[in-house]
Amino acid sequence: MTDIRNIVILTGAGISAESGIDTFRDGGGLWEQHRVEDVATPEAFARDPDLVLRFYDMRREAIQQKEPNPAHEALARLDDIWPGELLIVTQNVDDLHERAGASRVLHMHGTHLNAWCTACDVRSPWRGTLIERPSCPACGESALRPDIVWFGEMPYEMERIYGALRNADLFVSVGTSGAVYPAAGFVRDANALRVRTLELNLEPSQGSGWFDEARHGPASELVPEWVDEVLIP
Ligand code: BJW
């Protein structure tokens, strides 16, 4: 690992699974209780806003009761002392990376803890509910929606992510099924850029074969082990 300076780490629902947050596609995952097309598209929100707002209010409340696990803590430790460039690109909309102490975090699919005003386009920190149609703190309109990237919408800060990948020596993917694009394509982008790639996941992901190396097991074990390897070469 001595030749590694710049690292991009992609995280998905699997890193928060051991904190008690359901993944999307595993048995018992969210999609079994709510069909994705019923809640995670702009069309669903237009069709049945109450269903969508209730669903996100429930999840916003739930994530605030959860705690980071050893995988989040290990990445925060790495972030704290890694002298090179490092970017944790998370698909997760919880704040467990930040609560573990990481600061170089980019939420490409948004966050539960913001509300986005569709009238004035301002995003405001938000911990309560949206179902009662509260006013936007910036403009006063009742036009707030979850600040979540739904299917068909553009994930956030793609230029910054691709810029970090272009500079990276190592791309690590943690706890993601490789089912949702563009994140699922980052390993191929890294391949094309000749960036070394490592998968840490409970089981082989859909894109597992594209990684230079894949290790399978729980994130709470694999991530601290890998961080120790990187920090003590
Ligand atoms: C553990 C573990 C443990 C368990 N330890 N591991 C046809 C082909 C290709 C693409 C498309 C297509 N049709 C449409 C598209 C595009 C679409 C897409 O990808 N659809 C697919 C379904 C095919 N994508 C989009 O629409 C995106 N926008 C877009 O593409 O814009 C255009 C664009 C073009 C070019 C460049 C850039 C943009 C937007 C995607 C938005 C995704 N939003 C969601 C929902 C948010 C709502 C909410 O949170 O409620 O984000 S979908 C959902 O999936 C969520 C997640 O972030 C995302 C990824 O899921 P993740 O994290 O991988 O979770 P799981 O459950 O799938 O996997 C968990 C993994 O962890 C498993 O492998 C487990 O084994 C593992 N695990 N426990 C370690 N303890």
pLDDT beyond 70 at 30:
no
Q: Please give the pLDDT value at position 24.
A: 84
**Does residue 94's CB lie within 6 angstroms of at least one atom of ligand 1?**
no
Q: Please give the pLDDT value at position 100.
A: 98
**Does residue 40's CB lie within 6 angstroms of at least one atom of ligand 1?**
yes
Catalogue the active-site residues.
109
Question: How does pLDDT run across 36-61, given as a tens digit for each residue?
Answer: 766 889 999 999 999 899 989 999 99
Task: For residue 85, give Cα distances in angstroms to 7, 16, 144.
Answer: 6, 24, 35
Helix residue ranges, H only, 152-208: 158-167, 186-192
Read off the pLDDT of each residue in 156-169 and give the average, rounded to a whole number: 98
The closest residue, in CA terms, to atom 57 on ligand 1 is 91
The closest residue, in CA terms, to atom 66 on ligand 1 is 24
Strand partners, 201: 216
**Does residue 148's CB lie within 6 angstroms of at least one atom of ligand 1?**
yes
**Does residue 17's CB lie within 6 angstroms of at least one atom of ligand 1?**
yes
CA of 50 from ligand 1 middle (Å) equals 24
Residue of 18, 23, 32, 90 to mutate, ligand 1, most atoms within 8 A of C-beta: 23
Question: How does pLDDT run across 114-143, given as a tens digit for each residue?
Answer: 999 999 999 999 999 999 999 999 999 999
CA of 135 from ligand 1 middle (Å) equals 31
pLDDT beyond 50 at 178:
yes
Closest among 24, 25, 90 to 59, alpha carbons compared: 24
CA of 3 from ligand 1 middle (Å) equals 31
DSSP string across 84-134: S-EEEEE---S-HHHHHT--SEEETTEEEEEEEETTT--EEE--S--TT-P
Q: Please give the pLDDT value at position 25.
A: 79
Q: What is the pTM of this model?
A: 0.96
